[in-house]
């Protein structure tokens, strides 16, 4: 049986919001940490996303807090890992936190959801952090992440 109880992300456009959208649509508990001012590439993160503000506007501080406060991280990427997505991987490695890499260019969302659900079950993850690129860096990232996380949660709810 899956131990998953909560999805967290930083609320940025793209993968972060896709993960939160999936949880919200299914009534699954979600949240996470975001930079001060609810800072995102498109302005303030909309209030519908239940993320809490840190005292810092630094994206790296947000990423670190979400990795620390979760039991494991699903890192969605599309080809090469860069920027904040690469930083998330490095944080997971340095902190000894479980993670799963999913390359959206190589695997469809349905299969990715199944792999991520298996990862969450195998590692007994209660709080799953979901991270990946912004929508501006990879158009379609939000939708892909929403489909992946929906696939994970449909086995739970």
| Whole-angstrom Cα Rg for the chain | 14
> Residue 6's pLDDT band (boundaries 50, 70, 90)?
very high
Identify the sign of the CA torsion 144, 57, 5, 122. Answer: positive
Query: Rounded to whole angstroms, how far apart are CA atoms 74 and 148?
Result: 10
Query: Rounded to whole angstroms, how far apart are CA atoms 144 and 134?
Result: 12
| Residue 155 confidence (pLDDT) | 79
| Residue 156 confidence (pLDDT) | 74
Q: What is the DSSP letter of 49?
A: S
In Å, how far are 29, 46, 116 from 98, measured between CA atoms?
A: 21, 29, 12
Say what the pTM is: 0.96
DSSP code string of 27-48? T--EE-EE-GGGEETTEEPPTT
- Mean pLDDT to the nearest integer, 127-149: 98
Tokens representing 21 are 């959208």
Of 114, 125, 95, the C-alpha closest to 155 is 114
**Is domain 6-154 classified as CATH 3.40.50.450?**
yes
> Residue 11's pLDDT band (boundaries 50, 70, 90)?
very high
End-to-end Cα separation, the chain, in angstroms: 12
pLDDT tens sequence across 49-97: 999 999 999 999 999 999 999 999 999 999 999 999 999 999 999 999 9
């Amino acid at each position: 049986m899956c131990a998953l109880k909560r999805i967290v992300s930083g609320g940025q456009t793209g993968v972060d919001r896709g993960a939160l959208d999936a949880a919200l649509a299914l009534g699954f508990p979600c949240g996470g940490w975001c930079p001060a001012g609810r800072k995102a590439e498109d302005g303030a993160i909309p209030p519908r996303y239940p993320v809490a503000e840190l005292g810092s506007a630094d994206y790296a501080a947000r990423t670190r807090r979400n990795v620390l406060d979760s039991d494991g991280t699903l890192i969605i990427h599309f080809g090469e890992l860069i920027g904040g997505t690469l930083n998330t991987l490095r944080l997971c490695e340095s902190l000894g936190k479980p993670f799963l890499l999913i390359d959206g260019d190589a695997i469809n969302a349905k299969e990715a959801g199944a792999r991520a659900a298996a990862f969450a079950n195998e590692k007994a993850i209660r709080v799953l952090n979901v991270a990946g690129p912004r929508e501006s860096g990879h158009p379609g990232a939000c939708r892909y992440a929403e489909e992946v996380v929906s696939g994970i949660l449909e086995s739970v709810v």
